[in-house]
Amino acid sequence: MALIVKKFGGSSVATPDKMRAIVQRVLAGKQPGDQIVIVVSAMGDTTDDLVALAKEITSKPYGREMDMLLSTGEQVSIALMAMAFREAGHKAISLTGQQAGITTSDAFNKGRILDIQAQRVIDELKDGNIVIIAGFQGITEHGDITTLGRGGSDTTAVAIAGAIHADACEIYTDVDGIYTSDPRVVTNAQKMGEITYGEMLEMAKLGAGVMQPRAVEMGSRFNVPIHVRSTFSDVQGTMIQEDYSMEIKQYLIRGVAEDKNVAKVTVLGVLNQPGHAYKIFSELADQNIDVDMIVQSVRVAKEGTTDITFTVSRSELPAVRDVFAKIRGEIGAEDILIDDKMAKVSVVGAGMAGHPGIAASMFGILGDNDINIEIISTSEISITCLIAEESVDKAVQKIHDHFFAESEA
Amino acid sequence: MALIVKKFGGSSVATPDKMRAIVQRVLAGKQPGDQIVIVVSAMGDTTDDLVALAKEITSKPYGREMDMLLSTGEQVSIALMAMAFREAGHKAISLTGQQAGITTSDAFNKGRILDIQAQRVIDELKDGNIVIIAGFQGITEHGDITTLGRGGSDTTAVAIAGAIHADACEIYTDVDGIYTSDPRVVTNAQKMGEITYGEMLEMAKLGAGVMQPRAVEMGSRFNVPIHVRSTFSDVQGTMIQEDYSMEIKQYLIRGVAEDKNVAKVTVLGVLNQPGHAYKIFSELADQNIDVDMIVQSVRVAKEGTTDITFTVSRSELPAVRDVFAKIRGEIGAEDILIDDKMAKVSVVGAGMAGHPGIAASMFGILGDNDINIEIISTSEISITCLIAEESVDKAVQKIHDHFFAESEA
């Protein structure tokens, strides 16, 4: 007897046939007494189609109305999935985000889950239903529909699992687990049996795809074991959990990740006075622009000025330009340089703390391969270098070869 | 300054271009201070497409899940309409049935509106918004989404108009008003400037299309003047209201209607004992089968038996057959005869009470044209004859010619 949340993405529910395949698989794997919650995304390209429809009407992002529109995609999926389960002879009921008790902030298009009152979910499970919940959506305190932004259905699944104290949350994807590096880049990348939340967060933030950081954070907060596994096979995937199983050795390095969605912004000749750096980053924060690496140079080309360099996602560049158009006079900057051909390479591993040699090895490998490091940042469990995009695939392969020759995944 | 509810059907909002046309029209006609609520249906064939999708999964009518599915159609429409108004520079907000405060019975697929708590609608209007409400939907007391069945969006519009005490409810259709008869059948049918709720109800029930009886009943109950008018022109349509304007003469006959969706069921040789007729009609009622005309014959082919004849919509015939398969033994019926090639022709007019000559004229016209009357039923404001479907168009034309030669619409 287990209580399991299973999340299926849009490509897994793209057609009635694919829905039926999920139904068969879920029912085949269900033990007597198991309670099952299913979280689904919109079918196939539905969300893109709805966005295109909105674009025929306006180019402006009316957040509330956009969420009203987009949330219909998941609602269609849950209704059809519930029908498919009932057609297969099992009791099932669909619930919208609102019906599942999911309250979010009122940040339309990127709502944050504030609370889940899951009593209805629990009641429907007790009543013998497979409960099918719309991913990616919730409502504000005022009853307006919100969507949760990128990766929102994963977040819904993990949050629901936390709220109902599920034994695990299974995320079904088109890959069969988390790899030590991107298998498309590093051909000898190895699938991991387990990984900690912290490691996964670093991997995810660094673009290793598969799981959105928000969902992993949610899993960490509520201590929900997350099983990332394949939609297409029954092979065991990767467990994301608080700690490794007792039998498994403590890993030094867990993975090597890359992120190509990086742009470097350099603000030249900022007056080196108190408050100017604050001004820049508070304005960026006001526009919800997520700034990653930051360095302030000590160049003295002009007395009393400094250069500030930081990285953002490439999609944020138009917003960054708007911010600087507004504040440039105030901070006295000479010029803004933007390089959108940058990338990040990182090594991640909860075991690396206290092993300073890892950073040295990484820098040495990059140097041996004539790859220039522009910025370095570190955390307890990762080391990240900003390098040119054109070199990043090579860098990942070389670093992976080095560490995974010594240590197996 | 007026408070107006305007309802646009699916074909009026089938494309972004059509939505823009509505926006332009509504804004062009809006006086300063006017408050406007718009009720819309799903775009074009959306509802049919969703039904087809469900049919790919199951042939069974899972009511709750079907409503979860179908209600998305209107939700897409309201979101896009709100965007279109905002794009045109006017404040607007979309509301689902739930957000508009519409509570219904829990009869899925045919929910009845029980209550409207319209405070949010009123607040949004005060805030300067054009408020766009999803037609055809509401929620049960338990928070489940329901749809209102056929003509549901008209019902939503009139009910909202009643709840917010609107000055009028405008129903935009593909015809420019209510005619003295179906213009496709009776070429010289005339458009009426006004008609009472009671007359309209008789016309609507008798298949005169355009307005659903439930919406008319709702208008009558809350005394909401309903203006049926064309989506494509600014021409004045037909006002449905409690009484005629003072200046307009009292009409004897308002219209001649026909209904081809009629089947006649005859139950032969029912034991003429107390309770058997009750058994038949209570079983039919339990299956939600709406029985219209009823006659019990006094034939004495077999001592102690009688024949019972009634009419139903043709779509109810499978359910009727099921009922009789179940109770036939119990009521001792010899045979069940079904004739699905019947039709009704009716004359309607609040002024006909106290003018017995009208019934005589109608029967005379049918007799002169060799049309056999099978059943007659009358109300305060209508006379209806059941005749063969093949004769009904001719019957309507002849009766219309007779009454509208004497009395102008």
What whole-number distance in Å separates Cα of residue A158 and Cα of residue A170?
A: 9
* Residue B311 counted as an annotated binding residue: no
Cβ contacts of B145 on chain A, cutoff 8 Å: 96
The answer to whether the annotation marks B8 as part of a ligand binding site is yes
Most confident segment among A209-223, A272-286, A339-353, B57-71: B57-71
Which pLDDT belongs to residue B172? 94
- Supply the Cα-derived Rg of chain B in whole angstroms: 23
**A162 among the known binding-site residues?**
no
* A161 SS3 class: helix
Q: Shortest CB distance from A72 goes to which of B76, B84, B143?
A: B76
Which 14-33 residues of chain A touch chain B by CB within 8 A?
Answer: 16, 19-20
> pLDDT (tens digit, 9 = 90+) per residue, A153-187?
999 999 999 999 999 999 998 888 888 888 888 88
In percent, the amount of chain A with pLDDT more than 90 equals: 61
Shortest Cα–Cα distance, A49 to chain B (Å): 12
Beta-carbon pairs below 8 A across chains A and B: 111
CB nearest A99 (choices: B93, B120, B143): B143
- pLDDT tens across the length of chain B (409 residues): 899 999 999 999 999 999 999 999 999 999 999 999 999 999 999 999 999 999 999 998 899 999 999 999 999 999 999 999 999 999 999 999 999 999 999 999 989 999 999 999 999 999 999 999 999 999 999 999 999 987 899 999 999 999 999 999 999 988 888 898 888 888 888 898 989 998 898 887 665 567 888 899 999 999 999 999 998 888 999 999 987 765 455 667 889 999 998 999 999 888 877 788 788 888 888 888 888 888 887 665 677 788 889 999 998 899 999 999 888 888 888 889 999 999 999 999 877 877 778 888 999 999 999 999 989 988 888 899 999 999 999 999 999 999 887 544 4
Residues of A in contact with B58 (CB under 8 A): 83-84, 86-87
- pLDDT tens-digit map of A238-252: 999 987 765 455 667
Residues B50, B69 contacting (CB under 8 angstroms): yes
Q: Which residues in chain A touch residue B16, judged by CB atoms under 8 angstroms apart?
A: 53, 56-57
Per-residue pLDDT at A355: 77
Q: Which residues of A touch B40 (CB under 8 A)?
A: none
Q: Is A191 touching B (CB cutoff 8 A)?
A: no
Residue B358: its pLDDT value, please?
87
Query: If you ran DSSP here, which 8-state letter would residue A210 be given?
Result: S
pLDDT at B49: 95
Residue A299 has a pLDDT of: 60
- Least Cα distance to A5 among A134, A161, A122 occurs for A161
Average pLDDT, chain A: 90
Q: Which of B280, B379, B366, B262 is nearest to B329 (CA)?
A: B280
CA distance A221 to chain B (A): 30
Taking alpha carbons only, the member of A354, A403, A396, A345 closest to residue A374 is A345
Residues 6+ apart with CB under 8 A from B335: B267, B268, B269
How far is the CA of A379 from the CAs of A230, A311, A385, B397, in angstroms?
30, 16, 12, 87
Which chain A residue's Cα is nearest to B132?
A65
A8 is in an annotated binding site: yes
C-alpha span between A350 and A199 (Å, rounded): 6
Selecting from A68, A80, A120 the residue whose C-beta is nearest the C-beta of B79 gives: A68
Interface touch B66/A79, C-beta < 8 Å? yes
- Using CA atoms, how far apart are residues A114 and A111, in angstroms rounded to an integer? 9
B66 has a chain A CB within 8 A of its CB: yes
CA distance A26 to chain B (A): 17
- Alpha-carbon Rg of chain A, whole angstroms? 23
CA distance B138 to B134: 9
pLDDT at A79: 98
Contacts with A69 from chain B: Cβ below 8 Å = 75-76, 79-80
From chain B residues 348-377, the ones with a CB under 8 A of any chain A CB are: none
Two structure tokens written together for B111: 């929910």
Q: Which residues pair with B196 in a beta bridge?
A: B241
Given CB atoms, is B75 within the 8 Å cutoff of chain A? yes
pLDDT tens-digit profile of A222-241? 999 999 999 888 899 999 99
Q: Searching chain A, which residue's CA lies closest to the CA of residue B17?
A: A57
Most B CBs within 10 Å, among A22, A83, A96, to test the B interface: A83
Mean pLDDT lowest among A137-151, A353-367, B287-301, B306-320? B287-301
A74 is in an annotated binding site: yes
d(CA B173, CA B232): 8
With an 8 Å Cβ cutoff, are B78 and A56 in contact?
Answer: no
For the record, the structure tokens of A396 come out as 């990942």
Which candidate in B24, B59, B65 is best for mutational testing of the A interface (most A CBs within 10 A)?
B65
pLDDT given for residue A66 in this prediction: 97
Q: φ, ψ for residue B140 (rounded to 5)?
A: -80, 175
Give Cα B73 distance to the centre of its chain.
21
Q: Using the beta-carbon criterion (under 8 Å), do B82 and A93 form an inter-chain contact?
A: no
pLDDT in tens, A21-46: 999 999 999 999 999 999 999 999 99
More confident position, A91 or A381: A91
pLDDT band at A62 (very low <50, low <70, confident <90, very high): very high
Burial of B83 (0-12, 13-18, 19+ CB in 10 A): buried
Any known ligand binding at B7?
Answer: yes
SS3 call for B322: helix
pLDDT at A311: 93
Domains located in chain A, CATH noted: 3-173 (3.40.1160.10), 256-404 (3.30.2130.10)
Rounded average pLDDT over A377-383: 86
Nearest by Cα to B165 from B5, B8, B26: B5
Q: What pLDDT is stored for residue A14 in this prediction?
A: 95
Asked if B50 is an interface residue toward chain A (Cβ–Cβ < 8 A), one would say yes
List, in order, residues 6 or more apart from B329 with CB less than 8 Å away: none
pLDDT at A210 over 80: no
Please state, in angstroms and rounded to a whole number, the distance separating the CA atoms of residues B257 and B403. 13
Q: Does B61 touch chain A (CB under 8 A)?
A: no
pTM over 0.90: no
- Does the beta carbon of B13 lie under 8 angstroms from any beta carbon of chain A? no
Q: What is the pLDDT of residue B243?
A: 78
Q: Give residues with Cβ within 8 angstroms of A72, minimum separation 6.
A: A50, B72, B75, B76, B79
CB A194 within 8 A of CB A138: no
- Mark yes or no for CB contact B96/A145 under 8 Å: yes
Closest CA to A81 of A129, A136, A45: A129
ipTM value = 0.82
- Residues from chain B that touch A66, judged by Cβ atoms under 8 A, are 79, 83
In angstroms, rounded to a whole number, what is the distance separating the alpha carbons of residues A267 and B137? 54
What pLDDT sits at residue B407? 46
- What is the residue-wise DSSP string for A156-169? HHHHHHHHTT-SEE
Q: Which of B266, B262, B263, B296 is nearest to B278 (CA)?
A: B296
Instruction: Compute the Cα dihedral for B327, B331, B335, B336 and give only its sign.
Output: negative
